[in-house]
Amino acid sequence: MFRRHHLYTWAVALVLLFGLHPVQAQTERGDALIQNATVHTVTNGTLENTDILVRDGRIESIGENLSAPGGVRVIDASGKHVMPGIIDAHSHIAISNVNEATRPVTADVGVGDVLNPYDIGIYRALAGGTTTAHVMHGSANAIGGRNQTIKLRYGNLNPEDYRFEGAPPTIKFALGENPMRVHGEGQSIRPRTRMGVEFVIRDAFRQAQEYTAAKEAYANGERTSPPPYSERLEVLADVLAGDIMVHSHSYRADEMLMLMDVIEDFGLTDTFVLQHSIEAFKIAPEIAERGIPVSVFMDWWGFKFEAFNSTAHNAAILIRNGITASIHSDSGDLIRHMYHQAAKSQRYGDLSDDEALALVTINPAIQLGIDDRVGSIEEGKDADLAIFSAHPLSIYAVPQMTLVDGVVRFDRAEDPDDMRLQVNPEGDVQEAYIAEEHDHTHGHGHYGVHDDGIDLFDFLMQP
């Protein structure tokens, strides 16, 4: 009895020490020698019959006939292709909630607080060569919640282990139909129009400026009390200071021009990325002039009116206009075959292999501020790698193995059917989810497939 009690005390102490604080243990790092592969570095061409030596989670060397120290796993990749782990700049996997749709500005919440390591979607994305995802708040609000960049370290049970260490924080903005529908149509509060969207954003920025000024005045002794604490304004002040990047959902050219002006007025052009951006192609010169990166759907269109005047050539037009463009998934399905989405840019445009691969590797890495760590196969970078049976832009390519920090997190040859981390031994009857039955006319994709949704409201939200 005493012993057990003793153990319990220790357990409580350990929980107090580590469990209740977001203390991040060093996540697992691996070693490996990948031999004799065709290596798509993306930034430095394609290397035939090449080895990659991974030590302690990083790419130590790239070359021919490398040798592995004893004990290091050797992976024969003869006849196979290696590309950088795929990066999805817009995802909603691995979180328990997507939208805090209760008011037009919800900078005070963040999806990083609801990371869900049990989401099977993480493993399925890994099985498609994806290693990093920018997990985003939903698009119900003109200024939504904060996002979280994660590495797909599936198998870990601590949500903290998924955070991409050092990735710049980002926040979701949303323009057009979604905030107009949810607030203007749904609640009769601004925004009901694109004018209202601009006002909500400018007004929030002004409030944050006043908040900061009041705090400074208090610090300088010019005020007797600080302003009432507001988490929302604290976050917005960090946005205005350039410490939190803005990633804005957008569809129409006019609303993108509007937000670019707002962003410029507040001096945030260097920490700004456009997302979805169905009509970005129409204003490619204006976007290029400001040097703003854009992350787009490959071929989704027509699911709502602001997505109707569309072309699947969007990405190609942006790239040819000198814009750092990426392709994102915004879907638990598409995140499993981003290599294939990228390949379509060669049908809808004339991008080279490296340009096409860059759409899902180095370009999203730049957009997320993590290109010093991931997005290409270079010595010194993280060993986030995807091995394919064939050229990853071929329709017949099958992902074989995915490494995150040098750790093999997916191996097709050793893949058991059921990869869930949380299985209820009693009543483990999994009910079938048929995407097509969730056939909301507001949806898109296969008659309206959205993410393997978590709650009903998220289902009803459009991309």
Question: Which span (102-110, 315-323, 359-367, 368-376) binds another protein, by CB under 8 A?
Answer: 315-323
Question: Which span (18-26, 53-61, 269-277, 304-312) binds another protein, by CB under 8 A?
Answer: 304-312
Site string for another protein, 395-434 (x = CB under 8 A): xxxx----------------x-xxxx--x----x-xxxxx
Question: Which span (45-53, 57-65, 217-225, 388-396) binds another protein, by CB under 8 A?
Answer: 388-396
Residues 6+ apart with CB under 8 A from 339: 83, 86, 128, 129, 357, 360, 386, 388, 392, 393, 397, 399
CB 65, min distance to another protein, A: 32
> What are the Cα distances from residue 67, in Å, to 29, 36, 329, 379?
19, 12, 38, 16
> What values do phi and psi take at 84, rounded to 5?
-60, 150
Question: Site for another protein (CB under 8 A): which residue of 289, 291, 372, 380?
Answer: 289
Question: Within a 10 A sphere around the Cβ of 155, how many other Cβ atoms?
Answer: 16
Q: Find out whether the peptide bond into 191 is cis, omega within 30 degrees of 0.
A: yes
Contacts with another protein: how many residues (CB under 8 A)? 73
Question: Which span (93-101, 225-233, 307-315, 367-375) binds another protein, by CB under 8 A?
Answer: 307-315
Report the run of H or E that residue 200 belongs to, with start and end: helix 194-219
Question: Site for another protein (CB under 8 A): which residue of 66, 72, 114, 120?
Answer: 120
Q: Which is nearer to another protein, 1 or 456 (CB)?
A: 456
| Near another protein in 151-210, by CB under 8 A | 177
> What values do phi and psi take at 88, rounded to 5?
-105, 115
Question: Site for another protein (CB under 8 A): which residue of 36, 43, 158, 311?
Answer: 311
Residues 6+ apart with CB under 8 A from 85: 129, 130, 131, 132, 361, 374, 384, 385, 386, 402, 403, 404
- Interaction of residue 145 with another protein, rule CB under 8 A: no
Q: Which is nearer to another protein, 127 or 263 (CB)?
A: 127
Question: Which span (92-100, 116-124, 194-202, 322-330) binds another protein, by CB under 8 A?
Answer: 116-124
Residues 459 and 450 sit within 8 Å (Cβ to Cβ): yes
Residues 293 and 274 sit within 8 Å (Cβ to Cβ): yes
Token look-up 């080895």 returns 51
Q: Which is nearer to another protein, 328 or 344 (CB)?
A: 344
CB 433, min distance to another protein, A: 5
> What are the Cα distances from residue 170, in Å, to 167, 359, 368, 404?
9, 20, 8, 22
CA–CA gap between residue 418 and residue 412 (Å, rounded): 13
Residues 207 and 240 sit within 8 Å (Cβ to Cβ): no
Q: Which is nearer to another protein, 20 or 423 (CB)?
A: 423
- Interaction of residue 450 with another protein, rule CB under 8 A: no
CA–CA gap between residue 328 and residue 325 (Å, rounded): 10
CB 157, min distance to another protein, A: 17
Question: Which span (49-57, 103-111, 227-235, 333-341) binds another protein, by CB under 8 A?
Answer: 333-341
- Interaction of residue 291 with another protein, rule CB under 8 A: no
User: Which of these, 398, 329, 376, 402, lies nearest to 135 by C-alpha position?
Assistant: 329
User: Which of these, 452, 458, 449, 365, lies nearest to 137 by C-alpha position?
Assistant: 458
Question: Which span (1-9, 31-39, 72-80, 330-338) binds another protein, by CB under 8 A?
Answer: 330-338
CB 455, min distance to another protein, A: 9
Q: Which is nearer to another protein, 217 or 257 (CB)?
A: 257
Question: Site for another protein (CB under 8 A): which residue of 142, 239, 284, 365?
Answer: 284
Residues 359 and 316 sit within 8 Å (Cβ to Cβ): no
- Interaction of residue 313 with another protein, rule CB under 8 A: yes
- Interaction of residue 124 with another protein, rule CB under 8 A: yes
| Near another protein in 5-64, by CB under 8 A | none
Work out whether strand 170-174 and strand 143-146 pair parallel, antiparallel, or are unpaired.
antiparallel
